[in-house]
Amino acid sequence: MRIVQALLEEKMTVYQLINKLGDVPQATMYRQLSTLTDADLVKASEERQVKGTTEKIYSVIEDNLQLSRQEFSVYSQDEHLRFFMTYHAHLLGEMQRYLLNRDAENYKDDGFSYGITSLHLSEEEKNDFFHRYYALMKEFASKKPSTDRQSISLATIFIPSSD
């Protein structure tokens, strides 16, 4: 997941990915890129010659990162729980990396927060909320990295009440 997130920001070589992520051994990076490539989530989008060898530049295949509603519905409860646990394990790793590398006095300026909000919506209001939420996410997610932009991760979970 960290590799995919990094490649969503920009195309990178193996060595650029290793430097960006900081804690992934080279052999692991190659193995993970191979797995992601085989799953059609990542591709070698460019190649260039460097000192007599071919260096691949990797990018994500964005169309393959989201499950369609039809694909989403075919998974069992156990599979969804496993996916959710993987998601949370990744999120926990991101949280740990952040907390171990920042002091508490930076949290507010960094925009660090977490919480839960219950929404009480009619079907029409829920549809309106999701439409506006996804439009806002698309607008801000399309912004490319630059020196004046700080990277932040936004994790969302929408869990309908079982009432």
Note the pLDDT tens digit of each residue in 22-57. 888 999 999 999 999 998 889 999 988 888 888 999
Architecture of domain 2-63: Orthogonal Bundle (1.10)
* Cβ atoms < 10 Å from Cβ of 75: 13
Q: Which residues of 34-73 are buried (b: 16+ CB within 10 A; e: fewer)?
A: eebeeeebbbeeeeeeeeeeeeebbebbeeeeeeeeeeee
pTM across the whole model: 0.65
- Count the Cβ atoms, other than its own, within 10 Å of residue 80: 11
Amino acid at 152: I
Q: What is the pLDDT of residue 141?
A: 86
Cα distance between the two ends of the chain: 33
CA–CA separation, 42 and 1 (whole Å): 11
Helix (H, G, I), strand (E, B) or coil at 58: strand
> Is the model's pLDDT at 68 over the cut of 80?
no
Do 4 and 24 contact (CB within 8 A), yes or no?
A: no
pLDDT at position 123 over 90: yes
Residue 35 identity (one-letter amino acid)? T
Domain regions of the chain by residue span: 2-63, 67-114
Calculate ∠ Cα 95-5-23, nearest 5°.
Answer: 60
What pLDDT does residue 163 have?
65
Cβ atoms < 10 Å from Cβ of 91: 15
Paired residues of 53 in beta bridges: 50
Q: So what's the pLDDT on residue 89?
A: 85
User: Across the chain, what does the average pLDDT equal?
Assistant: 89
Report the pLDDT value the prediction gives residue 33, as an integer from 0 to 100. 94
Are 8 and 33 contacting, i.e. CB atoms less than 8 angstroms apart? no
